[in-house]
Structure 1
């Protein structure tokens, strides 16, 4: 499986973002890491390996960008308003810098996004904020409410980066054409979060698949099972 490390300079972030790329052709899939995971986490825990067949067949190309969670949601040394503003710069890096490059390189109008655990939040938040850029969203044991990071602070920026809130009023027509999977399991600590998000989508008539797997924990074995299955839906 072809693997390449690149550094993508972001003008919005003012720095290089490390990113692993697997494969040299196929549908572009951006795969986010978990809570404080780095760009190599999904490789180290063999989530990318679970998709080897799809990469080697040239069906998908997987992009694993670094996160800035330590500068945003998980930075306890800055005001909550600054947390969300830092995340907005990351969102702009994705939507205005990375994704346009992937669209041009792969000659696709839209991309797929995916992620396990907090990476599932990133996948959902980005997809729901930018449905014009995303065709498929695969959240694996994701959570969708970031208010716990905000110490009671709440503003418009928080609202528009909190899918459990803004999706209740979302009306972009592209949302109704997106392929959405909310993956979870009976023993998943994020089971209730996925059920709640599913109810919001259902209330709006947005088609999606709430995939509740049996008796597995919020951990890599579950996500390694889910990821290739979801890629088969592309």
Structure 2
């Protein structure tokens, strides 16, 4: 399986940024790491190996970017407004640097995004903010509300990057053309957030699947089962 390492200076972040890419053909998938995870996390955890059949058969090309959670939502050493602002910079990197690289290399305008745990937050936040550029969202045990990380602080940067807040009023017509799966374990710490997000989508009439896996927990063995099955549903 072809593996490529990308590293460049990000003008939005002001420092170097890294990403791993698997495969040279196929539908593009941006796969976000878990909280404070790095670009190599999915390889180390076995998720890339679990998806190798899709890559070997040139069905999927996987892009694994770094996170900046340690500087944004998880950074307790700066004030909450700065945490949110740093995420905004990351969002701009994703939109104007990562996504543009993906589009340039594949020629595909609407891509797939996925992530586990806090990576599910990043996937959902990106998909819901830019639905015209995302055709499939696979959130595995995702988080949809980041307010618990902000010590009561709230501003526009929080609102527009907190899916449970901005999605009820989000009118973008492309949301109704997106394939959305919210996968969660029966005994998952994020189950209530997934049920809340599902309720918001249902109220808006947005088709989706809330997949609650019985007798499973918030952990890698569950996600290693989920994501290959979800990718098999791409048409």
What TM-score comes out, normalization by structure 1 length?
Answer: 0.98
After TM superposition, give the deviation of residue 9 of structure 1 in Å.
Answer: 2.9
Do residues 88 (structure 1) and 88 (structure 2) align?
A: yes
Q: Deviations over 1:59-82 (max 9, x none)?
A: 010010000000000100111111
Separation in 1, partners of 2:207, 2:27? 22
- 8 Å CA contact 1:8–1:19 kept in 2: the answer is no
Q: Deviations over 1:7-59 (max 9, x none)?
A: 13321112221111111111110000101211111110001111010000000
What secondary structure sits across from 2:51 in the alignment?
helix
Separation in 2, partners of 1:78, 1:40? 26
Backbone CA RMSD of aligned residues: 0.8
Q: Deviations over 1:94-121 (max 9, x none)?
A: 1111102211210111111100000000
Q: Deviations over 1:134-167 (max 9, x none)?
A: 1111000001000001100001111000001110
Equivalent residue for 2:97?
97
Give the length in aligned residue pairs.
234
What secondary structure sits across from 1:8 in the alignment?
strand
Equivalent residue for 2:125?
125
Equivalent residue for 1:68?
68
Unaligned runs of 5+ in 2: none
Separation in 1, partners of 2:192, 2:70? 26
What secondary structure sits across from 2:24 in the alignment?
coil
Separation in 1, partners of 2:152, 2:116? 26
Equivalent residue for 1:164?
164
Separation in 1, partners of 2:146, 2:152? 11
Equivalent residue for 2:15?
15
What secondary structure sits across from 1:183 in the alignment?
strand
Equivalent residue for 2:139?
139
